[in-house]
Amino acid sequence: MFALNSNVLLTGGTGFFGLALLRYWRGLGDKAPRVTILSRNPQRFTARYPDLANFVTWRTGDVQDPTAFDNLGAFTHLLHGATDSTLGASLESLTRFDQILGGTRNALDFATKAGVRRFLLTSSGGVYGRQPSDLEKIPEHYLAMPDPLDTKNAYSVAKRASEHLCALYAERHQIETVVARCFAFVGPDLPFNTHFAIGNFIRDALFEDEITVSGDGTDVRTYLDQRDLAIWLTTLLDQGVAGEAYNVGSDQEITISGLAHLVRDRVAPGKRVQILGNSKASSNRARYVPSIQKAREGLRLDVKVPLSDAIDFAANAHRRK
């Protein structure tokens, strides 16, 4: 856990990861770090989450603008999570690539000037590319990557390049960089009406006549509750081995069809699950399952919240909204 007087700069603090972290850190009481968030629109967040907004110090700016980091002060830790995984897919590929890599470089430049000791990059399990059918779980030492000549891979290739950038800055500036390769998650703060299947299923279970699976439902996924996610990211930021990458996610697999039925059983028993079997809607990842042995053995991290409980937690939060 954080040492006394830890001072954290958080980018991406208004998104899903940021909300998970702020809820967790606020609950630490006297053991919580001091937190500053660099955000393009603090006012919007403050209006929506006043209780969380009052827990942190705000600075207005965009990580893609290097001047946004001017005069922010000194920090012991920097958690760089400012990549829009929700709406980023709508961006033009080159714009998305530049957003990810440029923002990471600006954050690293600032870290080296501000005396930051620990830097955590939130990367993605997408850096491994497509998981082979005979590979049950992807370990961190699996060195495949997405096809760099396919522009649809701009997000994942930029994340892989950002990881390399962290290694280069660590070599030159002796900053302790750690990489979190994040897979799939669930929680009250996961947005509905996007490409996150579990969020859409919970939405359908709560508000629609049936739960719709666009593809054939055979893809295999895992989901980590956002409360576990916050603990994992906090631990990696403070205790992850410098120069190392860690998978962040659950290793408890379930098919998309099984997930839809589980959501139905937990949230809306008896509601119909409709599997459309649309081939165009199916993912190009038949499996997306991490090995978490490294985090489990090296940092004593594990999946604490069962998926069924995580679904209940997310659904109940939306019932109260």
> 0.85 exceeded by the pTM?
yes
User: Half-sphere exposure of 289 toward its Cβ, with a 13 Å CA cutoff?
Assistant: 17
Fold of the CATH domain 7-186+223-251+289-305: Rossmann fold (3.40.50)
- Nearest Cα neighbor of 318 from 193, 183, 184, 182 is 193
First to last CA, the chain: 32
pLDDT at 195: 83
State the amino acid at position 264 in one-letter form: R
Torsion sign (Cα): 293, 140, 123, 106: positive
Find out whether 182 and 13 touch, Cβ atoms under 8 Å.
no
pLDDT at 17: 97
pLDDT at 278: 77
- Determine how β-strand 34-39 pairs with β-strand 176-182: unpaired
pLDDT 10s per residue in the chain (321 long)? 666 679 999 999 999 999 999 999 999 998 999 999 999 999 999 999 999 999 999 999 999 999 999 999 999 999 999 876 555 567 899 999 999 999 999 999 999 999 999 999 999 999 999 999 899 999 999 999 999 999 999 999 999 999 999 999 999 999 999 999 999 999 999 988 888 999 999 999 999 999 999 999 999 999 999 999 999 999 999 999 999 999 999 999 999 999 999 999 999 999 999 999 876 655 668 999 999 999 999 999 999 999 999 999 999 998 876
Find out whether 149 and 206 touch, Cβ atoms under 8 Å.
no
β-pair partners for 182: 124, 248
Residue 71 per-residue DSSP state: T
How does DSSP assign 171-189, residue by residue?
Answer: HHH--EEEEEEE--EESTT
Distance CA 230, CA 261 (A): 27
State the amino acid at position 248 in one-letter form: V
